Each structure stands twice: as structure tokens, then as C-alpha cells.
């Protein structure tokens, strides 16, 4: 079984991942120990820098008693000698039981899955999919809010290029969540995603005014606007400071509004928010570990 | 009595009911675009009324039959086309082009950042989401293929 796109999982499987993730929490915290993946080796292939995703996969594997191997310094490895990804995969699959890959090109994880007889988990392929992020976002919302139904989720920031928001929006709408997309016109949610959400019965609202959406929101999902996406600095600066989540904005919010962010943040969430009960982004980051444990356990088997 | 806009051909192939404006792309597929392999006359009718509906293009090639690979590519840009094989001035065989469920190795992905546009030992592959109009989605990067005609291999 490979996990390349969130669409590879049925709704039942997503629910199962969330149940398993809940059971993983004491193990993820180190309060309980497990040997479920004793003797198993996870290969992490990160062709692009990542701290959070890589570390949480490694931590997840080790918390389940498994081991890790990686490519080492990329410049020292065969990749810099021009080896194809297909060949790298054919080599790595004989050294490991499961492969986690992050790659700058879209479709790289699907290609890896086709060449590998061992399971492959996509940890981000260019501007494409990042299913484990989607699952940990879903888990975080479910865990705090208990029920998805009729929840009002506001997504704000770079909704056009931010790879996590597209699959999250689709997944949330399949659970009956109401969605509002807040972004400047140039960075609004792609039409294809909006259409997909509508096909699942959702009626997303699109706006560029965050203040107007905050009072009704149950979840505020904030993403970073990336400088790299803009042809010139002036254009970037025009939109970069547009949305800033601070105490003043949150005065209008419901007392149980939660603020999430895939991190790292720059200045879209003021650090003064960190100490409020709304701030759940560090809990969200921690949830990366139990969710990835649940996935490793689901794919590789083994008793807790 | 048939009404011919061009001289009847004795043997060859008539590609009929081509989507208006696609005739030159069909010529490119069959290798006739710049006179390339053409050893015999090719005639093109563009924007002629169709008995079935609206307007169409027609391509007539003398002394030549198409190979299946060419027909498969024509299906991608002209899903309503019919192939008529002419023998001794008559339509000896007629069939519709057929859009497959999957398109493998016939078009490149229009996403420049797709892994299939790197040096990988794979053929680009698409699932057909809609046959008419043709909508293809890359099985690797999950993007919809824009400009099918311009990305044919
Ligand atoms: N000998 C020929 N030389 C050139 N073109 C021909 C010849 N015979 C037929 N055609 C062309 O081939 C196409 C198919 O011919 P056919 O007689 O089957 O027409 P049709 O009954 O209108 O078919 P359809 O239902 O496919 O439109 C028409 O465009 C016709 O003009
Ligand atoms: Mg006719
Ligand atoms: Zn592609």
C-alpha cells in the first residue's frame, strides 16, 4: 500500500487513521513504549530540505521501535551524479522496508511508488500532494472539535500555491465542513479545487477580507505567503502584510476558535497569539508524530 | 451523386469529421505537415459544412493507410473523426477513431515541473477523464493536460 495522494485513502481509511492516531498519542509522547516496528527500516529520501516533516517521520518510526536510514549528504550521494530517481528507488528499496520521499518535482512520489515494491509515502512532491500533512490537519481539527459536521473553517493566505490547502479543502468538504477561502485575488483557491469542493456538496465562500469572516469561524487555518512565488518584491510586499492574525483580530472571534498553521510561520501570526487558548499550531505540529506513527503502523502492520 | 470539392482518389484514406481548425494538426500527426513523408498528393478541406452538424475539416491522403498509432493520436485531438479507407474510388472500410481509457506514451505532460519531463525511464501517462471534449489527467503529477495537440509526441 502506498500513500501518494490523500485520494489514495477512502473515507473509512481516513477515519481509521484518525482512530489509530489517537491511540498513538501516549507512545508519541514517550509515556509508553512500543516494539511494533522492531526490525523494520524506514528510508527517508529528502531531495529538498525539511525539518518538521523529516523529524516527525523519524521520531514516529523510532517511537514504534523501528530504525531509519537516509541518503546522507545529498551532494555526496549518487543523485548529484545524475542518477535517475527510478534507479535511486530501485537501490533504496532493497535496503529498507518502507520509503518516505520528499522531492521538488510533481509526480515524483507516484513514480517512486511504481518502481518500488516496498510501500512509499509521499512527504511532499513539489507543488503537488502532501497527504500526511492533510491527515495531521484533519486529526487536529477532529481531536479538538470532536465533530466535523457544520464546522466553519476559514482558510487564509496563499491558497493558490500552498500545497497543503488544496487537499485539505477537498478532504474537509467530504466531511461536511463549511469552507471560506480568504486570499487576494491573485492567490485565491484554484478553480479546480473550488469545483471539486462543490462536487462534494460544499458551497465555499471566497473573499479577500479576513475581518468579515472571523466572527463565525470555528477554525482559522493560516498559511504563509511565499516570497518565491512573486516575480518582483513590490508585488510580494503588497500582499505579504495583508493578513496578520493578532489579538486585535481575535477580539471578534468565538472563544473556542482554534488557529492552525502548517509552520514555519513568518509574520502572519503575531507571537502574542501563542499564549492565547486559540493557538493550536504547536499541538498541530506535535500531531505529526502520532499521525505518521498510525500510517507507518497501518502500512507495515505490527502489534502496538 | 457525390459532390466532390477535390478530385476523387482511387486509393487512400479520407479522415472525415475532423473538429474545425484541427486539420493541420492531423497533418502533423500523419507526418504530412511540411511535405515530410509525402510521396503522394494530400488534400485538405477546411471549414466545410457537415451533413451531421455544423462544420468540419477533412483530410484526404492518396495511396496510404494509417497505422494504429496515428489513429490513436488523431482521436486525442479530433474525437469525432471517422477514417474511411478508399479502394478503387469507393469507401471500402469506415470506422470511428476511439479514445482509449488511458493514454500512454503519446503526449508529454504540459507541467514543466512534472517528473515525467525529467530524465526518467517512464512514458508519460494520462487517464482520460472526458472523451469529448478530450480531458486528460497526468497519473504522475495529477495535472490536467493543456493543449493536447501541442504536446503530442
Ligand atoms: N473516392 C473518393 N475520393 C475522395 N473522397 C472520397 C471518396 N469516396 C468518399 N470520399 C469522402 O469520404 C467521406 C466518407 O464517404 P461516404 O460516402 O461514406 O460519406 P457519408 O455517407 O457522408 O459518410 P459519413 O456518415 O461518415 O459522413 C466523405 O467525406 C466523402 O466525400
Ligand atoms: Mg458525411
Ligand atoms: Zn505530469
Which ipTM did the prediction report?
0.89
Residue A116's pLDDT is 98
Residues B60 and B107 in one domain: no
Domain span at residue B40?
12-96
Provide the grid cell at A250: 481575535
- For the segment A163-182, the average pLDDT, to the nearest whole number, is 93
Residue B5 placed within a domain: no
Q: Which of B113, B122, B144 sits opposite A106 (nearest CB)?
A: B113
Ligand nearest to the CA of B81: 1
Provide the grid cell at A101: 520521499
Residue A85's pLDDT is 95
Res. A81: pLDDT tops 70: no
Neighbours of A187 (CB within 10 A): 22
CA distance B73 to B98: 10
Residue B37's pLDDT is 60
Residues B77 and B112 in one domain: no
Indicate the pLDDT class of residue B1, thresholds 50, 70 and 90.
Answer: very low
Q: Is B107 helix (H, G, I), strand (E, B) or coil?
A: strand
Q: What is the mean pLDDT of chain A?
A: 93
Res. A246: pLDDT tops 90: yes
- Atom 28, ligand 1: which residue's CA is nearest? B16
Provide the grid cell at A91: 537501490
Provide the grid cell at B10: 482511387
Indicate the pLDDT class of residue B129, thresholds 50, 70 and 90.
Answer: very high
Interchain proximity B113–A86, CB inside 8 Å: no
User: Which secondary-structure segment (H or E) carries B70?
Assistant: helix B68-77
- For the A132-284 domain, the top CATH level (class) is alpha beta
Q: How far is the CA of B91 from the centre of ligand 1 (A)?
A: 7
Pocket of ligand 1 (CB under 6 A): B 8-9, 14, 16, 51, 58, 60, 82, 84, 86, 89, 91, 94
Q: How far is the CA of A239 from the centre of ligand 3 (A)?
A: 30
Residue B125 placed within a domain: yes
Please identify, among B49, B80, B96, the residue that sits at the C-terminal boundary of a domain: B96
CA distance B153 to B145: 13
Pairing of strands A205-207, A178-182: parallel
Residues B76 and B112 in one domain: no
CB A167 within 8 A of CB A200: no
Sheet with A98-103: strands ordered across: A67-70, A41-46, A98-103, A120-125
CB B64 within 8 A of CB B12: yes
CA distance B52 to B24: 22
Residue A12's pLDDT is 93
Residues B73 and B140 in one domain: no
Residues B91 and B18 in one domain: yes
Total count of domains within chain B:
2
User: Which secondary-structure segment (H or E) carries B94?
Assistant: strand B90-96
Q: How far is the CA of B17 from the centre of ligand 2 (A)?
A: 8
Give the model confidence (pLDDT) of B25-66 as tens digits: 999 999 876 656 667 788 999 999 998 889 999 999 999 999
Neighbours of A198 (CB within 10 A): 12
Contacts with A, B 120-149, CB within 8 Å: 120-122, 138-144
Annotate A81-101 with b (16+ C-beta within 10 A) or e (fewer). Answer: eeebbbebbeebbeebbbbbb
Sheet with A178-182: strands ordered across: A205-207, A178-182, A152-156, A219-222, A258-260
Residues B82 and B54 in one domain: yes
Q: CATH for A6-130+286-300, among 3.40.190.10, 3.30.1330.10, 3.90.1300.10, 3.40.50.1370? A: 3.40.50.1370
Q: Which residues contact A251 (CB under 8 A, 6 or more apart)?
A: none
CB A222 within 8 A of CB A183: no
Residues B29 and B44 in one domain: yes
Q: Please indicate if any CB of chain A lies within 8 Å of the CB of B118.
A: yes
Give the model confidence (pLDDT) of A101-157 as tens digits: 999 999 999 999 999 999 999 999 988 899 999 999 999 999 999 999 889 999 999
CA distance A292 to A137: 12
User: Which secondary-structure segment (H or E) carries A43?
Assistant: strand A41-46
CA distance A55 to A96: 18
For residue B29, CA distances in Å to A19, A123, B65 come to: 53, 39, 13
Give the model confidence (pLDDT) of A276-292 as tens digits: 999 999 999 999 999 99
Q: Which residues contact B23 (CB under 8 A, 6 or more apart)?
A: B44, B45, B46, B57, B58, B59
H-assigned helices in A128-246: 131-145, 163-174, 191-199, 233-240
- For the segment A197-201, the average pLDDT, to the nearest whole number, is 93
Positive or negative: CA dihedral A176, A134, A160, B126: negative
Residues B107 and B39 in one domain: no
How many angstroms separate the first and last alpha carbons of chain B?
40
Residue B50 burial by CB count (10 A; 0-12/13-18/19+): exposed, middle or buried? middle
Intervals of CATH 3.40.50.1370 along chain A: 6-130+286-300, 132-284
- Tracing cell 482511387 back to the chain, one arrives at B10
- Atom 16, ligand 1: which residue's CA is nearest? B91
Give the model confidence (pLDDT) of A203-243 as tens digits: 999 999 999 999 999 999 999 988 877 778 887 888 888 89
Q: Is A243 helix (H, G, I), strand (E, B) or coil?
A: coil
Residue B111 placed within a domain: yes
Q: What percent of chain B has pLDDT over 70?
A: 93
Res. A76: pLDDT tops 60: no
Residues B83 and B26 in one domain: yes
Amino acid at each position: 500500500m502506498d500513500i501518494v495522494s490523500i485520494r489514495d485513502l477512502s473515507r473509512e481509511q481516513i477515519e481509521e487513521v484518525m482512530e489509530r492516531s489517537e491511540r498513538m498519542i501516549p507512545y508519541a509522547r514517550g509515556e509508553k513504549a512500543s516494539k511494533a516496528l522492531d526490525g523494520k527500516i524506514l528510508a527517508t529520501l529528502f531531495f529538498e530540505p525539511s525539518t518538521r516533516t523529516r523529524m516527525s517521520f523519524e521520531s514516529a518510526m523510532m517511537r514504534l521501535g523501528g530504525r531509519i536510514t537516509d541518503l546522507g549528504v545529498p551532494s555526496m550521494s549518487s543523485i548529484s551524479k545524475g542518477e535517475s530517481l527510478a534507479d535511486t528507488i530501485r537501490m533504496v528499496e532493497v535496503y529498507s522496508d518502507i520509503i518516505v520521499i520528499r522531492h521538488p518535482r510533481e509526480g515524483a512520489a507516484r513514480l517512486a511508488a511504481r518502481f518500488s515494491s516496498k510501500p512509499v509515502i509521499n512527504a511532499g512532491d513539489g507543488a503537488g500532494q502532501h497527504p500526511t500533512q492533510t491527515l495531521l490537519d484533519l486529526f487536529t481539527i477532529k481531536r479538538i472539535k470532536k465533530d466535523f459536521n457544520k464546522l466553519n473553517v476559514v482558510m487564509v493566505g496563499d491558497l493558490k500555491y500552498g500545497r497543503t490547502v488544496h487537499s485539505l479543502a477537498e478532504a474537509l468538504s467530504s466531511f461536511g465542513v463549511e469552507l471560506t477561502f480568504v486570499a487576494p485575488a491573485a492567490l485565491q483557491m484554484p478553480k479546480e479545487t473550488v469545483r471539486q469542493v462543490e462536487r462534494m456538496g460544499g458551497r465555499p465562500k471566497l473573499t479577500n477580507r479576513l475581518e468579515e469572516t472571523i466572527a463565525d469561524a470555528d477554525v482559522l487555518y493560516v498559511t504563509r505567503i511565499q516570497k518565491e512565488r512573486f516575480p518582483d518584491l513590490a508585488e510580494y510586499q503588497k500582499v505579504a502584510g495583508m493578513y496578520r492574525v493578532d489579538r486585535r483580530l481575535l477580539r471578534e472571534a468565538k472563544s473556542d476558535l482554534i488557529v492552525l498553521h502548517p509552520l514555519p510561520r513568518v509574520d502572519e501570526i503575531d507571537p502574542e497569539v501563542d499564549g492565547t487558548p486559540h493557538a493550536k499550531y504547536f499541538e498541530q505540529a506535535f500531531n505529526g508524530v502520532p499521525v505518521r506513527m498510525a500510517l507507518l503502523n497501518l502500512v507495515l502492520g505490527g502489534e502496538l | 451523386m457525390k459532390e466532390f470539392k477535390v478530385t476523387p482518389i482511387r486509393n487512400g484514406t479520407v479522415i472525415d469529421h475532423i473538429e474545425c481548425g484541427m486539420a493541420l494538426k492531423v497533418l502533423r500527426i500523419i507526418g504530412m505537415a511540411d511535405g515530410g513523408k509525402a510521396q503522394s498528393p494530400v488534400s485538405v478541406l477546411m471549414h466545410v459544412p457537415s451533413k451531421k452538424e455544423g462544420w468540419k475539416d477533412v483530410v484526404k491522403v492518396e495511396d496510404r493507410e494509417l497505422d494504429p498509432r496515428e489513429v490513436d493520436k488523431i482521436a486525442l485531438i479530433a474525437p469525432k473523426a471517422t477514417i474511411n479507407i478508399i479502394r478503387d474510388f469507393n469507401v471500402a472500410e469506415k470506422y470511428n477513431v476511439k479514445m482509449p481509457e488511458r493514454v500512454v506514451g503519446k503526449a508529454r505532460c504540459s507541467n514543466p515541473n512534472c517528473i515525467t519531463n525529467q530524465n526518467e525511464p517512464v512514458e508519460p501517462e494520462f487517464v482520460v477523464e472526458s472523451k469529448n471534449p478530450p480531458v486528460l489527467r497526468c497519473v504522475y503529477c495529477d495535472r490536467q493536460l493543456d493543449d493536447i495537440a501541442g504536446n503530442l509526441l
